[in-house]
Amino acid sequence: PTKSQVASNASVLSHSTSSVSDKRWNSDSGATSHMTHCRELLLHAHLHKVPIPIANGVVVYSELVGKILLRPLLVHGQIRRPIYLTNGLYVPLLSHNLISTTYLSQVHRYSILMNEHTILFKQSPPV
């Protein structure tokens, strides 16, 4: 991760409500890193505090960086092997977990296809 991160489609977890924060993952083409508010998903973590401006102009801070454990579902609810997102940030004040589609496409050469209900990540072969 760089010294400054961006989460364009994120929002801040509201502490004024008693609802549990969302555990689903949202794709974000404006995010510069993968981000989670779920500490239990972060493995091999170490301290890493960087400012992250979010959609409404508020700045939140990451606390840790590490590998994020992601357990995706296939069509018809079949469980797929775990995926590890590298350089993931733990940002406890985010209301949603974010997958950086920009990071996946630029750093790991994934093609990303989306429709109304589904997102497909396909890794391009090496050049």
What's the predicted TM-score (pTM) here?
A: 0.75
Considering the domain boundaries, does residue 20 fall inside one?
Answer: no
Contacts of residue 22, Cβ cutoff 8 Å, sequence gap at least 6:
95, 96, 97
Q: How does residue 37 score in pLDDT terms, banded at 50, 70 and 90? A: very high
**Phi/psi at 91 (5° precision):** -130, 90
Q: Report in angstroms the alpha-carbon separations of 66 from 8, 17, 34, 77.
A: 21, 29, 10, 28
Considering the domain boundaries, does residue 54 fall inside one?
Answer: yes
Q: If you average pLDDT over residues 26-49, what whole number do you get?
A: 93
Considering the domain boundaries, does residue 12 fall inside one?
Answer: no
**73: domain range?**
25-123
Measured CA to CA, the distance from residue 42 to residue 36 in angstroms comes to: 8
Question: How many domains is the chain built from?
Answer: 1
Please report which helix (H) or strand (E) contains residue 101, including its range.
Answer: helix 101-107
